[in-house]
Structure 1
Amino acid sequence: MNEEYGRRVENDTEGGLHFQRLSLNDDPLIRAIASYKRQMALFNRMAMLGGEDLEVLAEKTYRPPLAVIAAWEKPALSREGAMAALKLADEGCRDNDLVITGPMIRAALAYLQKEI
């Protein structure tokens, strides 16, 4: 099995961003979540540096992968994908972000209903 790796931002370090490897397996939901997290971290980093209109920066970074997540209608394909979806939904609950929460709970639930 070919394994792909994405990178999830853990924290900001003096030398730049520190990345942790995240196994993507073959689940497109994990790839979509990883893309959203990468782009959100990039937005946050660039917004702190200033110099660019935040609306333009949002359109260049996290909004395209957020649109993918918001429109997600398929079940997760793996346990890992379901867990990643639930973790993102939990973040969405804390941030009161229903755009993320609903689709991610439904993706995890659909996977779990298939497995039971």
Structure 2
Amino acid sequence: EHYKHHWFPEKPCKGSGYRCIRINHKMDPLIGQAAQRIGLSSQELFQLLPSELTLWVDPYEVSYRIGEDGSICVLYEAAPAGGSQSNTNMQMVDSRISCKEELLLGRTSPSKSYNMMTVSG
């Protein structure tokens, strides 16, 4: 529901700023609401999560970064319906990098090169 008017599978970067969830020594309200729904207190949540976390929730991918200069890791990845698998994967990587670069360009500290790491389960 939260992303209803900010979700564009045909243009994954569109709305990405709205879908970026951050913890920067204070809790993003969306994470706090989710924790409350499963019975976690704010104190328990702060103990479980890092003090600095960025979470990108994009069409076909969820990725995260711990700390300001940490590596970006892919938590979940799915291929769009239709199209060839190899071509689709290449477009997704290009899209992911450009979305994250757009968000990081405004930073004052020099950006680190991307060390993409996929977490699979």
Same fold (TM over 0.5): no
Considering fraction of residues, name the structure with more helix.
Answer: 1
Q: Greater strand percent: which structure?
A: 2
TM-score with structure 2 length normalisation?
0.32
Q: How high is the TM-score relative to the length of structure 1?
A: 0.33
